[in-house]
Amino acid sequence: MSIDDNGLTSHREHSDQSNVTSLHKGASPPVDEQNITSRESAVVDDEIAVRDREKLASSREDAAHLRENAIGLREDAAHMRERTALAREREARVRESAVTLREQEICGPGPSSDHSIVLRQANEHLVIAAIESQKLVEIVQTAKMELDHLAHHDVLTDLPNRILLLDRLTQAIELARRQGKQLAVMFLDLDHFKYINDSLGHTVGDLLLQSIAHLLVACVRNSDTVSRQGGDEFVLLLPSIEHVNDAAHCAQKIITAFTLPHSIDQHNLHISVSIGVSIYPDDGLDAETLIKSADTAMYHAKEGGRENFKFFKQEMNDRAVQRQSVEASLRLALERQEFVLYYQPKVNLRSGAIVGCEALIRWQHPERGLLSPEQFVSIAEDCGLILPIGRWVLREACLQALAWRQAGLRPIVVAVNTSALELRAMDFLENIRATLVETSMEPRYLELELTESVLMQDAESSNSALLALHDLGAKLALDDFGTGYSSLSYLRRFPIDTLKIDQSFVNHITSNKDDATIVCSVVSLGKSLNKRVIAEGVETQEQYEFLLAQECDEGQGFYLSRPVVAAALAALLQSGVSLPVYDGAA
Ligand SMILES: Nc1nc2c(ncn2[C@@H]2O[C@H](COP(=O)(O)OP(=O)(O)OP(=O)(O)O)[C@@H](O)[C@H]2O)c(=O)[nH]1
């Protein structure tokens, strides 16, 4: 018996033995030997019977074993079925709980489970985080849009700025090029806007700029662009014009619109504007050139008396180039000592005595000859060279006064012109003090002449500088009186010693009643305020007599004396003669 791989008992050996037994049964024995053979066969039969019994017993045992095995197998199978059922149950439970967990993860936990609570809270946080991150994305997007707007718009007026204008202008040029059309660029600069800031403050100035922005937008079409370049400058783009007259019409419309007052902070403010116009393609093929051409034309509008518009012309560029060349050689003029001073006497009208002189700069240009201040001072102001030039004038005039005194001449007041840039210079006062010390000049013989506009620029700091100057003992004259802002309040505010009546009033005092009235009023105002009054541009005997009759203190002009070189003035002082006009004048 063996146990097969399945554990079941094998009975093959028994079968083999039965086969051997059946081979012996097939042979027949002899007769003598029959008894023996019969006994033997009986024995054999007994043996066989025994063996058969043994076999039977063994078979019974085997059967019993088989039965036992079968029972065992049935039991095993039952156990296996049980185990499988249990395994299936467990698997089902695991699946169920997995499904529940997944459901909880998806749908949210049940209220009683800690795990569920944690999961629910985590879910809530996830949802909140997702909402907040969405909000953040929206905030970032809004901030980006705002940044983009800021980058392309002017903060004060919210008009497109230079960057956006350049972009739109470049696109408009491209379109005009393809369609073979014209477009116009207008450069606008407000006239005397500084006065508004200086007299009413920057806040009012800002409000005025905003009001002007609205006005400009209202003056043009929706398809046009109104941009602010900064300060009091605006640039307009008219992207499609049929004819240059369209641009002229628009410019005139704007100038007319500006005649209405702006109601700001309880003030009715009047301001005018100067406009330069350039046309594509005539005055430039790209955005920068067109803006530059319009800017150049605007300067010419200013020069032409402001409150008007000018179209760009090529000659304007030529003048700009000439201006640049003047600027370049101005820089060398100081080094090369090409400047000279002329002195125009100021005469006491009653006595005829020379009581002072105004130092007037000339430029002895190596190629262009003797240049008057009008030919280079504004350029020097624009490029800042007026500061070293102004210092040179002051020192030279004081040195000349010293030379006259050293020559034994009686001292006279020497006046120098002062620009806004000089007055605002950090070292303005210090330079005057140092020059007075260096030239041993008594401050009372130095007079600074300033125009109203110079005074009104940055009036606060001007006033403190001028008060310090007054304390020092120097004099202050108000030049071109009556032509500027004409706010009489500064006569109280600033320590002014002298009023210089502008020659435009003096020119016609004998023919124009209004001018005569104005001059008389200024003389009388000066007397009331205890200020010296001097008339500029006295060119005729009639004018001189009129002024004398009005008891104007002093006069200055060709009738009395042209500006003369230092030696000539020394001669005049020496002789004591002031009238008539000196022949050797420049
Ligand atoms: N209120 C205000 N003023 C500004 C601003 N930006 C520049 N300004 C002032 O604008 C003035 C510009 O003056 P300019 O154009 O040079 O001179 P102006 O007085 O207008 O005289 P003209 O142009 O010669 O007619 C200066 O006084 C600047 O200080 C601003 O944003 N707000």
Per-residue model confidence as pLDDT tens digits over 200-240: 899 999 999 999 999 999 999 999 999 999 999 999 999 98
Helix (H, G, I), strand (E, B) or coil at 451: strand
Cα separation, 131 vs 142, in Å, equals 16
Looking at residue 274, its pLDDT comes to 97
The pTM score is 0.56
Sign, CA torsion 251/253/258/264: negative
Cα separation, 222 vs 401, in Å, equals 64
Ligand 1, residue 206: give the atom nearest the CA. Answer: 1
Q: Kindly give the distance from the C-alpha atom of residue 194 to the centroid of ligand 1, in angstroms, as a whole number.
A: 5
Specify the residue with its C-alpha closest to ligand 1, atom 7: 231
190 neighbors 183 (Cβ within 8 angstroms)? no
Residue 63 has pLDDT above 80, yes or no: no
Residues with CB under 6 A from ligand 1: 156, 189-194, 197, 202, 205-206, 209, 231-232, 302, 306
Residue range 171-184: mean pLDDT, rounded = 96
CA neighbor of 349 nearest in space, from 218, 542, 544, 97: 544
Count of C-beta atoms within a 10 Å radius of residue 285:
11
Q: Kindly give the distance from the C-alpha atom of residue 415 to the centroid of ligand 1, in angstroms, as a whole number.
A: 29
Specify the residue with its C-alpha closest to ligand 1, atom 8: 231
What percentage of the chain's residues is helix, strand, coil (to nearest 5)? 60, 15, 25
Supply angle C-alpha 475, 478, 479, rounded to 5. 120
Quick one: three-class SS letters along 499-511? EEECHHHHCCCCC
Question: What integer best gives the mean pLDDT of the chain?
Answer: 84
Q: Kindly give the distance from the C-alpha atom of residue 424 to the centroid of ligand 1, in angstroms, as a whole number.
A: 16
Which residues are CB-neighbours of 102 under 8 A, at least 6 positions away? none
Q: Kindly give the distance from the C-alpha atom of residue 232 to the centroid of ligand 1, in angstroms, as a whole number.
A: 5
Count of C-beta atoms within a 10 Å radius of residue 377:
20
What backbone phi and psi angles, to 5 degrees, belong to 391?
A: -65, -40
The model's confidence at residue 70, banded by pLDDT at 50, 70 and 90, is: low
- ipTM here: 0.95
Residue range 521-532: mean pLDDT, rounded = 94
Specify the residue with its C-alpha closest to ligand 1, atom 25: 191
Residue 557 has pLDDT above 60, yes or no: yes
Which residues are CB-neighbours of 80 under 8 A, at least 6 positions away? none
Q: Kindly give the distance from the C-alpha atom of residue 199 to the centroid of ligand 1, in angstroms, as a whole number.
A: 12
Which residues are CB-neighbours of 270 under 8 A, at least 6 positions away? 259, 261, 262
Specify the residue with its C-alpha closest to ligand 1, atom 5: 231
Cα separation, 355 vs 345, in Å, equals 8
The model's confidence at residue 424, banded by pLDDT at 50, 70 and 90, is: confident
Q: Kindly give the distance from the C-alpha atom of residue 191 to the centroid of ligand 1, in angstroms, as a whole number.
A: 9
Q: Interhelix angle for 162-179 vs 114-152, to 10°?
A: 70
Best of 158, 194, 483 for a ligand 1 pocket test (most atoms within 8 Å of beta carbon):
194
Q: Which residue would you say has higher pLDDT here, 577 or 262?
A: 262
For the record, the structure tokens of 125 come out as 């946080």
First to last CA, the chain: 156
Write the pLDDT tens digit of every residue in 342-387.
999 999 999 999 999 999 999 999 988 999 999 999 889 888 899 9
The model's confidence at residue 135, banded by pLDDT at 50, 70 and 90, is: confident
The model's confidence at residue 102, banded by pLDDT at 50, 70 and 90, is: low
List the single range of 56-60, 142-146, 214-218, 326-330 with lowest mean pLDDT: 56-60
Best of 197, 303, 462 for a ligand 1 pocket test (most atoms within 8 Å of beta carbon):
197
Residue 196 has pLDDT above 70, yes or no: yes
Best of 155, 190, 196, 232 for a ligand 1 pocket test (most atoms within 8 Å of beta carbon):
232
Residue 2 has pLDDT above 50, yes or no: no
Looking at residue 326, its pLDDT comes to 87
Q: 488 — alpha (psi -120 to 50), left (phi > 0) or beta?
A: alpha
> Any idea how long the chain is?
586
Amino acid at 499: L
Residue 6 has pLDDT above 60, yes or no: no
Give the whole-number percent of the chain exceeding pLDDT 90.
60
Quick one: three-class SS letters along 355-400? EEEEEEEEEEECCCEEECHHHCHHHHHHHCCHHHHHHHHHHHHHHH
Specify the residue with its C-alpha closest to ligand 1, atom 32: 206
Q: Interhelix angle for 386-406 vs 566-575, to 10°?
A: 40
When computed from its CA atoms, the radius of gyration of the chain, rounded to whole angstroms, is 58
Residue 19 has pLDDT above 70, yes or no: no
Q: Which residue would you say has higher pLDDT here, 580 or 402?
A: 402
184 neighbors 277 (Cβ within 8 angstroms)? yes
Looking at residue 73, its pLDDT comes to 56
Q: Which residue would you say has higher pLDDT here, 382 or 260?
A: 260
CA neighbor of 579 nearest in space, from 544, 552, 550: 544
Quick one: three-class SS letters along 142-162? HHHHHHHHHHHECCCCCCECH
Cα separation, 497 vs 479, in Å, equals 11
Q: Kindly give the distance from the C-alpha atom of residue 197 to the centroid of ligand 1, in angstroms, as a whole number.
A: 8
Q: Kindly give the distance from the C-alpha atom of residue 205 to the centroid of ligand 1, in angstroms, as a whole number.
A: 9
What residues form DSSP beta bridges with 479?
A: 451
Helix (H, G, I), strand (E, B) or coil at 241: strand
For the record, the structure tokens of 437 come out as 């010390």
Q: Kindly give the distance from the C-alpha atom of residue 29 to the centroid of ligand 1, in angstroms, as a whole number.
A: 156
Ligand 1, residue 197: give the atom nearest the CA. Answer: 1
Sign, CA torsion 427/432/433/438: positive
Specify the residue with its C-alpha closest to ligand 1, atom 9: 231
Cα separation, 394 vs 234, in Å, equals 38
Q: Kindly give the distance from the C-alpha atom of residue 231 to the centroid of ligand 1, in angstroms, as a whole number.
A: 5
Q: Kindly give the distance from the C-alpha atom of residue 454 to the centroid of ligand 1, in angstroms, as a whole number.
A: 13
Looking at residue 376, its pLDDT comes to 93
The model's confidence at residue 493, banded by pLDDT at 50, 70 and 90, is: confident
Best of 159, 193, 485 for a ligand 1 pocket test (most atoms within 8 Å of beta carbon):
193
For the record, the structure tokens of 239 come out as 């992207």
505 neighbors 472 (Cβ within 8 angstroms)? no
Ligand 1, residue 203: give the atom nearest the CA. Answer: 1
Looking at residue 18, its pLDDT comes to 35
Residue range 474-480: mean pLDDT, rounded = 93
Specify the residue with its C-alpha closest to ligand 1, atom 1: 205
List the single range of 127-136, 192-201, 348-357, 406-415 with lowest mean pLDDT: 127-136
Q: Kindly give the distance from the C-alpha atom of residue 524 to the centroid of ligand 1, in angstroms, as a whole number.
A: 34
176 neighbors 123 (Cβ within 8 angstroms)? no
475 neighbors 412 (Cβ within 8 angstroms)? no
| Strand 354-365 to 413-417 pairing | parallel
